Each structure stands twice: as C-alpha cells, then as structure tokens.
Amino acid sequence: MTQPSVGTVQSKSFTFAHPPTPMVLDSGVELGPVSLAYETYGTLNAERSNAVLVCHALTGDAHVAGYHAGDDKPGWWEHYVGPGKPIDTDRYFVVCSNVIGSCMGSCGPSSINPATGRYWGLDFPLVTIPDMVRAQRELLRHLGIDHLLAVTGGSLGGMQTLQWAAAYPEMMDGILALATTSRHSPQAIAFNEVARQSIMSDPNWKNGDYYDGVRPDLGLAVARMIGHITYLSDESMHVKFGRELRKGSFAFNFEGDFQVESYLHHQGKKFVERFDANAFLYVTKAADYFDLDLANPDSPARRALAATPARFQLVSFTSDWLYPTYQSRQVVDVLKALGKDVSFCEITAPWGHDAFLLPDERLETVVRGFLGGLHGC
C-alpha cells in the first residue's frame, strides 16, 4: 500500500506586471513582467474559504507535495500536505509559489530579461520578503482567492508568513509560523554573508555573469556546506556522525577523514546541481533584510498585527540555533501584548533548524489542530 499523496502534480506559471504597469519593488526599482511558478493541490470550495498558502524556505520551491511525472522524490513537505495529512488536501486548497529572486521557476537572476533577451544576472533587482509576498498576492488574485484560511511556512517561509499578516492583515483567518523570526539576527546575517562571500570569491562567478560559461560551483558548494551546519545542531551531529571515520583510521591528508565531512561534501555537490549561485545571493539577502521591527510600537507591521482578526500559532524547536526559540517568543510576546489569539509551542527535538521539515507527530498534531480550529472542524 502506498502512502496517501496528492499524486502526480505539475508546476504552472503565472505572469503579471506586464509593462507599462510593472511591479514597484521595495528598492524603488520597477520589475515587469514578473513570473511565478506555482502548484496547487485540492479544490477551492464554492465559498472560496478553504485556501491555505504555503511559503517555502530559502532554497525551496513550489513543489510542496506529490510527484512530478517521472520523479521518485516527492515535494519537500510531502509528509505534511496531502489527503488526510495535517494540511489535508481533501479539505483545503493548497497553494505554493516559488519566491521571486529564486531559480525554481519564478523570475530571478538566472531567468531571461525580456528587455534584452539575455540572462538577468546581477541586473535583476534585489527583492525583499515584502516583495515576495506582494507577488504571491497577485497570484492569489489570479486564482480568484481574496481570503485565506491560513498562511504557513517555516524558516524563510515563516518570515513570509509573518509578513503576510503585516501586509494583508484582513485577509487570513490564521497564521502558522514555524522555526522562524521576525528579524534576521546579526549571527544569521553573518552566516549568509560568509556564504555569499564564498560564491563571490569564486573566479567563475564573474560578477554574476557566468551563465554562458563555467558556473561558480565550488563557491556555491562551500556556501551550502556553511548553511548545512546551521540547519543541524551540535546534538544532532553527535547523533548522526559523532567522530566516525570514513576509513577506520586517520588518512593524514586533506581528503576528509570524518563522516561529517563526507556528509557536507555530498550536500555541497547535490546543491550545485539544483540551485543557482546568483539566486542564492538574492534569497539570502532578502532574509537578511527582513525585520518587522515589532519592538517599535509605531512600526507599520505592529500596527497591522494589532488590526488583524487572524489567530496565530508559532512553533520553535529546542535545538534550532539559527532561529532560536527566543526569537519566536519575541513575536509571541508582541502578539500577546496586542491582545491577539496566539498559541506557542516549543518542540523538544535534537534535529536543529531542519526539524520543521521532518516527520514529527507533535508538529503534525499542532498543524492539524490549528487548521481544523480555523476551519471549524
């Protein structure tokens, strides 16, 4: 018996902001046309009240669940999205789109600039999380959705989720933000910047203009390895790898003695096959810019949160040191001070930041319960 799944799915594309009415980005730069890759699962009900928007993490994509034809690997949140699953596609109409600035089907530095017929490269304007969310709003309009049951996502997806509440406070019943923050910390910025420096130090990067030649794979691989350390935890590395050696004894060379080194090499290698170096610069920069400024009583985000009727559920993980529990609590504290309906759950798990992507009965229960509560079932 196979696991229930949404089955075979296909990504679609939506283009908007055609000239002469481009999208005006936070930077002030005009961008248009803007293309989004997206997927949907389940059926929008007649009342159009059952749409759940899922926002993906840093290097994720619109392919949340099910299988692309010919693939044996499902979408990145297969365990949570599907028939009978916590985000139940028998009940909810699920939408996810690839963020702008990325390279998984939406427009970004690795797509073609229609004005020149050439790859954008660094001529693509920098985008922010508010820009990403505004683009998603256009997609929903296209899909005939003016109200969301919920917005959810983890990590960069959680930031988008919080940004949704700040930008469109009247539009959703619930906000379910996982393993995230309202303000990218200096340590998180530092990790992103070192990863970017690794890419930009690769001579094949050529100031972003490498699409017709050799790609900066070595720099991008190191960037990914840095990221992977922050996605795991000291504890999970002890459990997964310890000090286990690849070959039983020290090799006394620089080829990598330890299992943890092989793991990182493998992650680096796999990543360059699927992700674009420039896009990595763009999405990390968007994360670094993110700051809802919630401690400031006059910040637009805080005033928007004060006005939203949405319920909130935040989830953090004990061993997540990239977006530690205290950062979720800061959001929860503000929401409480604003008199919002907010629940918070810190899940004890050794797996670090990655935990929100992994099967976990407690997280399943929280997600299912929160959506069910909004949906009245």
**Smaller CB distance to its own copies: residue 78 or 257?**
257
Nearer Cβ to its own copies (209/364): 209
Does 45 help bind its own copies (rule: CB under 8 A)? no
Query: Using CA atoms, how far apart are residues 155 and 59, in angstroms rounded to an integer?
Result: 11
**How many chain residues touch its own copies (CB under 8 A)?**
58
Residue 193 CB, shortest distance to its own copies, in Å, is 5
- H or E segment and range at residue 301: helix 300-307
Contacts of 242 (CB under 8 A, 6+ apart): 259
- 196 near its own copies, rule: CB under 8 A: yes
Among 107, 324, 340, 356, binds its own copies (CB under 8 A): 324
Residue 353: DSSP 8-state: G
Active site residue 155: yes
CA within 13 Å, CB half, 1: 2
Q: Annotated binding residue at 134?
A: no
In the chain, the amino acid numbered 303 is R
Residue with tokens 């034809």: 69
**DSSP H or E run through 140:** helix 129-142
Q: Which two tokens stand for residue 147?
A: 């109200």
Among the listed residues 31, 129, 167, 225, the single contact to its own copies using CB under 8 A: 225
How far, in whole angstroms, is CA 200 from its chain's centroid? Answer: 23
- Residue in the structure block whose two tokens are 């997540």: 320
Neighbouring CB atoms inside 10 A of 48's CB total: 14
All residues at 6 or more sequence positions from 247 whose CB lies less than 8 Å from its CB, including other chains: 257
Tell me which of 4, 19, 84, 203 binds its own copies, using CB under 8 A. 203
**By C-beta, is 183 or 303 nearer to its own copies?**
183
Q: Is 141 in the site for its own copies (CB under 8 A)?
A: no
258 binds its own copies (CB under 8 A): yes
Amino acid at 32: G
Q: Helix, strand or coil for residue 149?
A: strand
Asked whether position 150 contacts its own copies by CB under 8 A, the answer is no
Given 234, 269, 296, 309, the residue binding its own copies (CB under 8 A): 234
47 backbone dihedrals φ, ψ, rounded to 5°:
-75, -5
Among 44, 126, 143, 306, binds its own copies (CB under 8 A): 126
The residue from 189, 304, 306, 345 that contacts its own copies (CB under 8 A) is 189
Residue 55: enclosing H or E segment and its boundaries?
A: strand 51-55
Q: Which of 143, 218, 304, 306 binds its own copies (CB under 8 A)?
A: 218
Q: How far apart are CA 119 and CA 103, in angstroms?
A: 12
CB atoms within 10 A of CB 295: 13
For its own copies, give the closer residue by CB, 98 or 192: 192
Query: Quick one: 147 or 206, whose CB is closer to its own copies?
Result: 206
Residue 306 binding its own copies, by CB under 8 A: no
Is 320 annotated in the active site?
Answer: yes
Bridge partners of 267, per DSSP, are none
Among 138, 209, 291, 346, binds its own copies (CB under 8 A): 291
Distance CA 148, CA 145 (A): 7
- Any catalytic annotation for residue 102? no
333 lies in the site for its own copies, by CB under 8 A: no
Beta bridge partners of 31: 23
215 binds its own copies (CB under 8 A): no
| Residues facing residue 24 across a β-bridge | 30
300 binds its own copies (CB under 8 A): no
- Note whether 194 binds its own copies by CB under 8 A: yes
- Which of 111, 155, 233, 236 is catalytic? The answer is 155
Residue 260 CB contacts under 8 Å (≥ 6 apart), including other chains: 237, 240, 241, 244
238 binds its own copies (CB under 8 A): yes
Hey, which residues are catalytic here? 155, 320, 353
Annotated binding site: 224, 354
Annotated binding site for substrate: 224, 354
Would you tell me which residues interact with its own copies (CB under 8 A)?
27, 29, 122, 125-126, 183-187, 189-191, 193-194, 196-198, 200-203, 218-219, 221-222, 225-226, 228-229, 232-234, 237-238, 240-243, 250, 252-254, 256-258, 260-261, 264-265, 268, 281, 285, 288-289, 291, 321, 324
